[in-house]
Amino acid sequence: MTTYMSAEQRAARTDHAIRTAVEAARDLGLTVTDPRVLHDVFSVVVHLAPAPVVARVPTILPQSTDPDTLAERQRAELDVTRWLAAQGLPVLTPSPLVPTAPVRRDGLSMTFWTYTEQRPNSAPDYIANAESVAALHAALSTYPGPLSFLSSAEPDFVTDAFARLTDHPDLITAQDLDRARAQWDLLEPLVRSRAAFEARFPGIELRPIHGDAPAANIHHGVDGDFHADFELVTLGPVEWDLAALGPDYEAAYDRGARRAGLRPLDADVMAFVNAVGALRAIACLILVPQQPLLEEPLKAAVDHWRGGPAVDTPTS
């Protein structure tokens, strides 16, 4: 049976992240006397008050993500957000008070961001957010930095997780896991190979995209709305950023795309990214022992996937 981290162990993990971020910030010359946790799910996000700086410290990572890979992702996120801000797009930006680079300390790698106060009692309008993603894509289209093809799909993580989930029948049944593996066998080549993707979907351009559900990653600040959390920024089809959201959100994106002069979403590519997104969600079950609050939404995602359509072969 699966062994879950205890509440005490999770609290110790958070405390370690806070303490490490505070020590690193002080070494960088910041005054920190009243650190306050803003979020704690996959990362501990802490306001280093009174400094107007936020540290984001990833604490729950796949076994396949080594420190060098994480640092590379963090550098890409810092570069992209700084570039977007220079283009005038509203994004949460790296803090100008410290060097714009990941900081490694005590087994953790963190980044530092400008603190932007959240608008109180703000209720996200995800449909409007989805419509705004097209403008983000338009702004990203000329980003000059190097990005890997569909790295946000994390194929190494998915493959490793499916192997390890064999030992966790309380998280997923053997029948469901076998079906997920069979689907992954069909889709994995298209995730790992740009050439295979382009052969399967001719005419679908690959471009810089957010990589991690940008409609759900908008910070509603007192001074406006800001795109946030570019940790999985990647090169891919625009459809990836709408994966698993559903027809209403796709229609909203298409409205924004028409306004921005971009093409509408492609139905075949949407089916592909929805299938890959569902399998990636199943793979995330392996993280539940580290963060039990993920269990309920991930098992709901499995239930939804179980009733979904069959996955086509890459050559169909």
Which 3 state secondary structure label does DSSP give 219?
A: strand
Task: Give the length of the chain.
Answer: 316
Amino acid 10: pLDDT: 96
CB burial of residue 126 (10 Å; 0-12, 13-18, 19+)? middle
The answer to whether residue 2 scores a pLDDT higher than 90 is no
- Say what the pLDDT of residue 310 is: 74
Sorted by sequence, the CB contacts under 8 Å of residue 48 that are 6+ apart come out as 21, 22, 25, 30, 32, 35, 54, 55, 112, 115
Average pLDDT, the chain: 95
What are the domain boundaries of the chain?
A: 1-115, 119-316
- What's the Cα-to-Cα distance from 44 to each of 59, 80, 108, 115, 241, rounded to whole Å? 7, 21, 11, 15, 24
Say how far apart CA 7 and CA 156 lie, in whole Å. Answer: 29
Q: What is the pLDDT of residue 242?
A: 98
Determine the average pLDDT of the residues in 36-49.
97
Alpha-carbon distances, residue 168 vs 32, 34, 288, 294, 304 (angstroms): 42, 40, 11, 15, 20
The CA distance from 134 to 88, in Å, is 15
Q: What is the pLDDT of residue 66?
A: 87
> Which residue reads 């949460």 in tokens?
92
In the chain, which residue ranges form alpha helices assigned H by DSSP?
7-27, 67-86, 126-140, 155-164, 174-192, 194-200, 247-260, 267-283, 295-306
pLDDT for 312 equals 66
Mean pLDDT of 27-53: 97
Token code pair at residue 134: 């097209």
What is the Cα 290 distance to its own chain's centre?
Answer: 18
pLDDT in tens, 262-308: 999 999 999 999 999 999 999 999 999 999 999 999 999 999 999 88
Please check the confidence at residue 251 and state whether its pLDDT lies above 90.
Answer: yes
pLDDT for residue 194:
98
Task: Please name the fold of domain 1-115.
Answer: Phosphorylase Kinase; domain 1 (3.30.200)
The pLDDT > 70 percentage for the chain reads 98
pLDDT of residue 316: 44
Mean pLDDT, residues 71-79 taken together = 97
pLDDT digits (tens, 9 = 90+) for 103-144: 999 999 999 999 999 998 878 899 999 999 999 999 999 999
State the Cα–Cα distance between residues 285 and 307, nearest whole angstrom.
18
Per-residue pLDDT band at 311 (split at 50, 70, 90): confident
The mean pLDDT value for 164-189 works out to 97
Torsion of CA 111, 298, 250, 274, to 10 degrees: 100
Instruction: Give the architecture (CATH level 2) of 119-316.
Output: Alpha-Beta Complex (3.90)
Mean pLDDT of 171-178: 97
